[in-house]
Amino acid sequence: MSAWLVNQLPQAMARDQVVVGFVQACGEVADGLRDRVSTVEHELDVDLAGPEMLSYLASWLGVQLETIASADEAVARDAQRRLIRAIGQVIGWRGTRRGVETLLEALTGARADVSDSGGIFGRDDPVPPADNVVRVVLTHSGGLSERQLLAFLAEELPVGTRVELQIRSGT
């Protein structure tokens, strides 16, 4: 037990055992808080954070890590860490082709090609017919199942979007 807080009491208060007992109790609570605060830099580092903190960091960024699970916990954790890093880089592009491609590439380690009928059209440009299909082609799945990839895409794309997912290899 540390006496750092009791040692700061004025002499008159230090002679009162009730005050000393109260300040000791406060010092014990403060010691626990100081220990937690001193390790916060490690908890906020994506490479060092524990599973609970990874989920918390992901929630700040609007991502559900529960959709990225694997029988191999280390593989899933690495994918989660890559995804959190990538989200920070493309936060302003979320929901766009560029953002979805970047996040899928971080998540799977595979090349991702995303296409849809959307775009920016000038006054005299022909506008394609409305289509709510987003086509995603991956060179491989990075160990994730099709269900996991579709669940992730459902979180990233607008409501009502239909996804056509093609994975070129079975891995």
Please, which residues bridge with residue 112 across strands?
A: 138
Contacts by 108-116 with C-beta closer than 8 Å and gap 24+?
108/79, 108/138, 108/140, 108/141, 108/142, 108/143, 108/144, 108/149, 109/82, 109/140, 109/142, 110/138, 110/139, 110/140, 110/141, 110/142, 111/138, 111/139, 112/136, 112/137, 112/138, 113/137
The pLDDT of residue 58: 87
Which two structure tokens, joined as six digits, stand for 142? 């990075």
The pLDDT of residue 170: 53
The pLDDT of residue 120: 81
The pLDDT of residue 40: 66
The three-point CA angle 5-6-8 to 5° equals 70
Which residues have CB under 8 Å from 14's CB, separation 6+? 6, 20
Contact predicate 168/138, CB 8 Å? yes
pLDDT in tens, the chain (171 residues): 578 888 989 999 999 999 999 999 998 898 888 877 776 666 778 888 888 888 888 888 888 887 776 667 887 788 888 888 888 888 888 888 999 999 999 888 899 999 988 778 889 988 888 888 999 999 998 888 899 899 889 988 988 899 999 998 755
Which two structure tokens, joined as six digits, stand for 143? 């160990």
